[in-house]
Chains A and B, each alone.
Chain A
Amino acid sequence: MALTREQMVALYRNLVRADQYNRMMYRRMMQGKLIGFYHPAEGAIAPGVGACTFLNQDDNLSPHHRGHGITHMLSKGIDIKYYLAEHTGKETGCCKGRSAFHFSFPEHKVYMMSGFIGYNFAPVVGWGFAAKRRKQGQVVMNCSGDGSYGQGRAHEAMLMAQNWKLPVIFFCENNGMSIFSTAAEMHPMEDISSLALGFGMPSRIVDGQDVFAIAEASLEAIARARAGEGPTFIEAKTLRFNEHDIGTPDLAGWEERSEEDHAKMREREPMKIATERVLGDGILSQDEIEVMEREVAAEVEAAEAFADASEIARPSVEELLDAVFAPQEI
């Protein structure tokens, strides 16, 4: 599925946004201006952008925790300033400042996150079930890492999605690492997507550093799902430039990742690869890219200003107790 110029510009713009938001989050974590932890996305910003830029507002999305789902959510049209406010404990946060790092944008069908890796595999079956029952053509973009496919519930979700031909895309962002352990040690097969074979689910592997290749594969899978043809497995082979989360050592197994490894990884920097492509194909000029970068910088700055100007959420215990259950009329 060849991309149009307009689609390539949209992808490139979201990639610039993903890159700048990730750098902002990294900086703020180092400055002590984020609550909790941050799992930086440098090197792995392309999969979320490629998978999510062409989703509709009423498609379901479960973002990957890498980069805290920001690359995915911004691509789906979600205003990240409310998530940043959440991550700074503010009243204006998307979860009213009470969740640390969770996100919830129900109007965009990004319902939840959980600290349990692989939690996504249970609800995605239900979203797919509801989409199919209601026949309104929604698809479910289910993004998670190679590590999450160790969970039994991943296999259960694939089993049921394929049994019922649910419109779920199993989008695996394989960076080869789960904290310190390598996918090579933790999975018997080189490709996580080989799991799809056992369920008779179509699968494909894409270069996770190439946002355009990812988008092409995603558009095909989305079209299949919308047409009622069932789930697709996409494995985006990507990279994790930083440590797992800021502050943990940068190990593979129990040994430091080497400078050579890092140098080799950074040759495959997704922003660089995309820039060469848009310049080479004459999609964008250097001037246009610079304008875009300035506009995005202003957007990120405004998001920070919004979060910083918001009040810290300090509701009373009574108010919080009142929020545990949904009222009958919501």
Chain B
Amino acid sequence: MRTITLIEAIREAYQEELRRDEDVFLVGQDIRGAIFPHTKGLVEEFGLERIVDTPIAESGMYGVAFGAAQEGMRPVCDFMFGGFSYVTFSECSVTTGQYHFLHGSQQPLPLVITAGVGTGQRLANDHAMSIHGTFAHHPGIKVAMPSTPYDAKGMFKAAIRDNNPVVIPWHMGIMMLKGEVPDVDEDYVVPLGVADVKREGSDVTVLANSLQLQHALKVADKLEGELSVEVIDPRSFVPFDMETLLRSLEKTNRLVVVDEDWESGGFAATVSARVMEQGFDLLDAPVIRVTLPNMPVPGGYMEEYVAPNPERIEAAIRAVCA
């Protein structure tokens, strides 16, 4: 085991998959020069044919990935910032999600969509919005987001090997987060659709991902001795590991869902409704959500108290346990 950052873990996943499979390639804007460090140095090793920069033309850029995937290649399309994928949303959500199903389930569409997302940079809505909930709304697309370097490497490798479109953003607030990963070239994947109990507890379950997972773990440590907090990382939103969540609720009977997406129509709402439908009898208290309030994400210093944060998570835990 070594200790590396989350963004370095993603870079290693690319590098190993690019070496393993000639059909894997990366397409994006300014990825050769590594606008974010997960593509640093890749063009030197893999050349211009496999590390592909396009003009600022998101539909055409995504089209490279979409069409090449239909041709059996395994592209990774990097939108730089998650919100930029919305420039070509009809292609990367609707047309992508319906492709396999609507055309008779004849052909796989093995492609990966990635981008940096999330609060923490004070960049405001268009650079800070989360995209997982919106993509999870569209059937036919797998959606996942890593929270640790170990998961990042394993999940990106799983996403590249998957036969379906996988949206796997990474959170800019934890790009420099360090963690243990196996040695280079020790091949492992973290399967999509499997949640992970990051911390065991017995009084309350907190479901949280990426930066918010780190917040939840901090709060759980702080409350040690007072409340026993179980922290689960969904890792994947589609498919979602309901079994792990329900198993946890059998023990804790209380749930806080933290989601760095808007309250309205977000993934936290989906989880809450599913728990009500499938696990109502397990609950001793109503589910509480900690989400972004329904306003465009403000930039500047407001982000700190508008976005979910440790204080809001702690308050929710106390409320659900009251």
- Residues of A bordering B, CB below 8 Å: 93-96, 98-99, 102-104, 106, 111-112, 114, 116, 119, 121-131, 133-134, 152-153, 156-157, 159-160, 163, 320, 323-328, 330
List the B side residues contacting A93 at CB < 8 Å: 104
Kindly identify, within residues 49 to 74 of chain B, every residue whose CB is under 8 Å from any CB belonging to chain A.
49, 54-55, 57-73
Cβ proximity bits B235-277 to A, threshold 8 Å, 1 near / 0 not: 0000000000000000000000000000000000000000000
Checking A106, A159, A330 against B60 with a beta-carbon cut-off of 8 angstroms, the contacting residue is: A159
- Residues of B bordering A, CB below 8 Å: 49, 54-55, 57-73, 75, 88, 90-91, 94-95, 98-110, 139-140, 142, 162-164
Checking A98, A111, A124 against B63 with a beta-carbon cut-off of 8 angstroms, the contacting residue is: A124
- Is the pair B100, A326 in contact by a Cβ cutoff of 8 Å? yes
Known: A111-B99, A129-B67. 19 other contacts (CB 8 A): A95-B102, A98-B101, A99-B103, A102-B103, A116-B94, A122-B91, A125-B60, A126-B67, A130-B67, A130-B71, A130-B72, A130-B73, A156-B58, A157-B60, A157-B63, A323-B100, A323-B101, A324-B139, A330-B107
- Is the pair A323, B60 in contact by a Cβ cutoff of 8 Å? no
- Is the pair A123, B63 in contact by a Cβ cutoff of 8 Å? yes
- Is the pair A98, B102 in contact by a Cβ cutoff of 8 Å? yes
- Is the pair B57, A160 in contact by a Cβ cutoff of 8 Å? yes
List the A side residues contacting B163 at CB < 8 Å: 325-328, 330
List the A side residues contacting B70 at CB < 8 Å: 106, 111-112, 123, 126-127
List the B side residues contacting A114 at CB < 8 Å: 94-95, 98
Most chain A beta carbons < 10 A, residue from B60, B65, B98, B106 = B60
Checking A98, A102, A125 against B64 with a beta-carbon cut-off of 8 angstroms, the contacting residue is: A125
Checking A98, A104, A130, A157 against B68 with a beta-carbon cut-off of 8 angstroms, the contacting residue is: A130
- Measured CB to CB, the closest approach of chain B to A112, in angstroms, equals 6
C-alpha gap A98/B100 in the complex (Å): 11
- Is the pair A324, B140 in contact by a Cβ cutoff of 8 Å? yes
CB-defined A-B contacts under 8 Å, sample of 7: A96-B104, A111-B70, A111-B99, A116-B90, A122-B62, A153-B63, A324-B101
Most chain B beta carbons < 10 A, residue from A102, A156, A326, A327 = A326
- Is the pair B63, A116 in contact by a Cβ cutoff of 8 Å? no
- Measured CB to CB, the closest approach of chain B to A149, in angstroms, equals 14
List the B side residues contacting A111 at CB < 8 Å: 70, 99, 103, 107
- Measured CB to CB, the closest approach of chain A to B81, in angstroms, equals 19
Checking B66, B98, B100 against A122 with a beta-carbon cut-off of 8 angstroms, the contacting residue is: B66
- Is the pair B105, A160 in contact by a Cβ cutoff of 8 Å? no
List the B side residues contacting A160 at CB < 8 Å: 54-55, 57, 60-61, 63-64
A-B contact count (CB 8 A): 145
C-alpha gap A156/B70 in the complex (Å): 19
- Is the pair B105, A106 in contact by a Cβ cutoff of 8 Å? no
- Measured CB to CB, the closest approach of chain B to A319, in angstroms, equals 10
C-alpha gap A94/B68 in the complex (Å): 22
List the A side residues contacting B95 at CB < 8 Å: 112, 114, 116, 119, 122
Checking A94, A104, A133, A328 against B107 with a beta-carbon cut-off of 8 angstroms, the contacting residue is: A104
List the B side residues contacting A125 at CB < 8 Å: 60, 63-64, 67
List the B side residues contacting A126 at CB < 8 Å: 63-71, 75
List the A side residues contacting B64 at CB < 8 Å: 125-126, 129, 160
Checking B67, B88, B102, B105 against A326 with a beta-carbon cut-off of 8 angstroms, the contacting residue is: B105
- Is the pair B63, A121 in contact by a Cβ cutoff of 8 Å? yes
C-alpha gap A330/B103 in the complex (Å): 14
Q: With CB as the reference atom, state the residue of chain A lying closest to B100.
A: A326
Knowing A122-B91, A130-B73, the reply to whether A95 touches B104 (Cβ < 8 A) is yes
List the A side residues contacting B59 at CB < 8 Å: 121-122, 152-153, 156-157
C-alpha gap A152/B107 in the complex (Å): 28
- Is the pair A112, B99 in contact by a Cβ cutoff of 8 Å? yes
Q: With CB as the reference atom, state the residue of chain B lying closest to A107.
A: B106
List the B side residues contacting A328 at CB < 8 Å: 162-163
- Measured CB to CB, the closest approach of chain B to A130, in angstroms, equals 4
Q: With CB as the reference atom, state the residue of chain B lying closest to A82.
A: B104
- Is the pair A123, B109 in contact by a Cβ cutoff of 8 Å? no
- Is the pair B67, A124 in contact by a Cβ cutoff of 8 Å? yes
C-alpha gap A60/B254 in the complex (Å): 54
In order of increasing CB-CB distance, the 5 nearest A-B pairs are A126-B67, A122-B63, A156-B60, A104-B103, A130-B71
